Amino acid sequence: MSTTMTMAKAINAGLRATLAGDDKTLLMGEDIGPLGGVYRVTEGLAREFGTDRVVDTPLGESGIVGTAIGLALRGFRPICEIQFDGFVFPGFNQITTQLAKIHTRSDGMLSVPVVIRIPYGGGIGSIEHHSESPEALFAHTAGLRIITPSNPHDAYWMIQQAAACADPVIVFEPKRRYWLKGEVDTAAPARDPFSAQVVREGTDATVVAYGPLVPVALAAANAAAQDGHSLEVIDLRSISPIDFDTIAASVEKTGRLIVTHEAPTFGGIGGEIAARISERCFYALEAPAMRVGGFHMPYPVARVEEHYLPDIDRILEAFDRALAY
């Protein structure tokens, strides 16, 4: 069955299906109960499933994650919401030193199936600590799976797939795309959430994007087509692990690679992709891999954030540089 809904509603529907299908699943987070969260992603769930399964927590991310780890060790499957990306750092210690390592530390005897939902990225005109893109900090830590949807269909299914995973999963939700509408087929699951997807075929260059920048990459491909150029666009979908096979197959065809994300270019996911593909596809590349990202600076105030965020022009400028080689 296919229906049109926003990404926020799709995540809500995915959480509802998860709660209905497994009574060991519960939601935890600040203001997620009767209020429905600051983005209303959990709206109506507390009324439907009760406040013992949709739990309003104190304002303490360390406590949210720590409690979720304990619940997971006792057989529950907690799904935590971090209210804003920049608020996750009080829980960073629990995520990177406990959640990510318990399975290995116990020699596989213990599993901690915890899902952590993090609205991330800019473009909403918000204040400090509300527009961060910290995904690379978590991707550097082995033991965590990290995914990010770019459309409502993926959002609906990926939250359910994350909840069913035996490993800890961080779901970065692009907050400026919460109101993006799209078709959701509730009968046809999305593909493996840890695989990339070619969302537009092309021949002149491969553009890899994820989360909030996938629509921007597609718009750049449309603009390039007006000048007679063909860009292939890949939705990365999974930040850890990264599906390098899909990217490499595309670059072997196009000969050029552009990676774009909102997070700063310095130390970002794009650098790892560029390095790995340069190793694997050295003889196929006709130009160095290009990276387009945020600047190496604290996220700026709202009135100038459009100058910080990668846009169509910056992606096309990188393509022009690649063509010049």
Q: The tokens of 296 are what? A: 């190496």
For the CA atoms of 267, 272, 278, 280, what is the dihedral angle to 10 degrees?
Answer: 170
Residue among 103, 130, 153, 261 flagged as catalytic: 130
Helix (H, G, I), strand (E, B) or coil at 315: helix
Q: The tokens of 202 are what? A: 């092309």
Pair 115, 79: CB distance under 8 Å:
yes
Catalytic annotation on 229?
no
How many CA atoms does the CB half-sphere of 205 hold within 13 Å? 33
DSSP 155-222: HHHHHHHHHH-SS-EEEEEEGGGTT-EEEEETTS--S-TTS-EEEE--SSEEEEE-GGGHHHHHHHHH
Length in residues, the chain? 325
What are the residue numbers of the active site? 130
